[in-house]
Copies of this chain bind each other. A is one copy, B any other.
Amino acid sequence: MPQYVLTLSCPDRPGIVNAVTGRLLEHGGNILDSQQYNDLATDRFFLRTVFTAASATGPLQASFRELSRGFGMELSLRDRSHPRRVMLLASKFDHCLADLLYRWRIGELPMQITAVVSNHPRETFRHLAFDGIDFHHLPVTHENKPAQEAALWSLIEATQTEMVVLARYMQVLSDAMAARLAGRCINIHHSFLPGFKGARPYHQAHERGVKLIGATAHFVTADLDEGPIIEQDTQRVGHHDTPEDMIRIGRDIERRVLAQALRYWLDDRILLNGHRTVVFAV
């Protein structure tokens, strides 16, 4: 039986779960996994349900569409057998890119990679097997940035990309581009936000003498380093660690945090709650 994921958020009120499960039952759906969350501060309700059904198109879909109107829901219904379309952007450092490609290859990240894009040439990644994934070299200069972003946007549209992953892509997107990609672009920042925003965070961390460093995966917004946080992790460092040691240790944190964030998204586990996220992590 095919599996579907239903996610929704709406103003809280009695009867939501009963209405959702009632319609599932009516159309032969069987729940495999379900999580709910009520944000008591904002009175908003969030739900993620995985279910099997003969079909989620036709009557079931229509039924949920009607339901979502009645409750004022933002609702998404997705066939789990259709992998999502993801574009990977990287610059010179390829540890996150190599890691995502490896996890994709062995089946950890069920996605369709629409393209790998870099402001550096294919040669930079000569050791990485792309297995037929298209590679696009889109160099950036101060002058060509609008044109480069236009080309990137065309590519996103042409490839029907649903999510853009900035896998240590070291170019700041323009406000316009960030706005276009709202909720559709994940970045890995090499610090434990909100500490050490901006450039060279490991050097900042070393200078401040912190005893832990971290990394943060977040949705990209026009407000740099301020987008909704999806996942973070930290690791212990000490006085003996140079900025270079921190960069090395940080690579491990970055790649696992970004992979985890993407994994959550691919499995429809992330819902936006204002400028924060609800992550049904389990």
Contacts and interface: CB of A to CB of B under 8 A. Distances in A.
Interface in A118-147: 127-129, 131
Nearest to A94: B106
Contact of A234 (B212, B239, B279): B212
Interface stretch (A65-73, A78-86, A173-181, A224-232): A224-232
A208 B194 contact: yes
Q: Is the interface of A mostly helix, strand, loop or mixed?
A: mixed
B33 A36 contact: yes
A41 to B, nearest CB: 7
A30 interface: yes
B36 A40 contact: no
A198 interface: no
B14 A18 contact: no
B239 A37 contact: yes
A113 interface: no
Contacts of A40: 32, 242
A253 to B, nearest CB: 10
Contact of A209 (B106, B209, B277): B277
